Each structure stands twice: as C-alpha cells, then as structure tokens.
Amino acid sequence: MNTYKELISNEEFFAAALFQIYVFVIDVLEDSPVGNGGAVEKYTDFSVWIDGECYPRHTHTFKVAAVL
C-alpha cells in the first residue's frame, strides 16, 4: 500500500534533497503529474528545481511516496 506525503516546509525540502528522495511533481490546476519527477536539486521560498526543471511552489504540489 502506497501513501504519499506532501512536502510543504523548507525543512522537508531540505531532508528530501539531503537523502536524494524521489519527488513527484503534481500540477495543482490540472491535478496531474508533471514531468518525470526526481531528486530535489535546489529550493527557495518560491520555486523548486527537480531534474533540471524549475517548478513554482504556488502552482505545484510536491509529494514523496511512503510504503507502509
């Protein structure tokens, strides 16, 4: 069973970048995946860079999978 944790805070993005956790990127308006996802390369209060692409934080949701 897979559940997903949404990354919201800078601390969560830092941990995901530190441990190179695979992050899924979801478009908020279309509620659909964007690109292939990948590891967080860089983040600011306004955007996140994943796999060479820049995603604005206010228009995208960032999730990681947790296996229970």
Radius of gyration of the chain, Cα coordinates, nearest whole angstrom: 11
What integer best gives the mean pLDDT of the chain? 91
Which helix (H) or strand (E) segment holds residue 31: the answer is none
pLDDT at 62 over 70: yes
| Structure token digits, residue 66 | 């947790």
pTM of the model: 0.87
pLDDT at 66 over 80: no
pLDDT band, very low/low/confident/very high, at 20 (cuts 50, 70, 90): very high
Q: Domains for the chain: give ranges and CATH numbers.
A: 2-67 (2.30.30)
SS3 18: helix
| Structure token digits, residue 18 | 């530190």
Residue type at 56? P
Q: Can you tell me the mean pLDDT for 35-39?
A: 88
Contact of 35 with 53, CB cutoff 8 Å = yes
23/35: higher pLDDT: 23
